[in-house]
Amino acid sequence: MPAFMLKKIVLGNFSSGPVDPMMADAIDFMVDRLESLGQSELASRLTLNCQNSYVEPHKIRDIPVTIMDVFDQSALSTEAKEEMYKLYPNARRAHLKTGGNFPYLCRSAEVNLYVQIHLLQFHGTKYAAIDPSVVSAEELEVQKSRLGLSQEEP
C-alpha cells in the first residue's frame, strides 16, 4: 500500500475535535514523526501493531502489573480495555482523566509519577531500575518503610 494511504489510516485515529493545547502539541509531534517515516518503515510498524498477539496471563500472574488508561477518547476500544481488566484482575490501575492516544507525551508528569509508583516496589531488589549500590542504605530504608516492608525483608 502506498505511504500516503498508510498515513491516512494512522491519521484517522487521531482526535479531530477540540483538544487542550498539550494534547494538540502531542498530536502535532506524532504527525511530524509520522511524516518522517518511509513507506516500508510505516508498513512494518503498522504490521507489528496490528498483529494478533497474546500474553498468557497465567504465566505472569506473579509479576506485578500496572495498567495505565485514559478516560477520554483513544484508539483502544472500551471492549479491549475491559478484556484487559478481566485478564489481569490483580493489576493496579493508573487512570488519567485525559491523554488521548499519547498520554506519555501530553501528560508526561502524571505518566512518570505512575511509572515511579509502579517501580517503587522493586526498589532495593535485583529487579530495581537503578543499581542498589548507588542508593544509600538510608534511602533504601525510607523506600521500604513507604512500602510497608520490614527491615528483615530483602
- Measured CA angle at 71 (ends 115, 82), to 5 deg: 85
pLDDT of res. 147: 56
What is the model's pTM? 0.70
Rounded-to-5 percentages of helix, strand, coil across the chain? 55, 5, 40
Percent over 90 (pLDDT), the chain: 29
Return the number of other C-beta atoms located less than 10 Å from residue 23's C-beta. Answer: 22
Q: What is the rounded distance in angstroms from the CA atom of residue 28 to the CA atom of residue 47? A: 23
43-65 pLDDT, tens digit each: 998 888 778 877 888 888 888 99
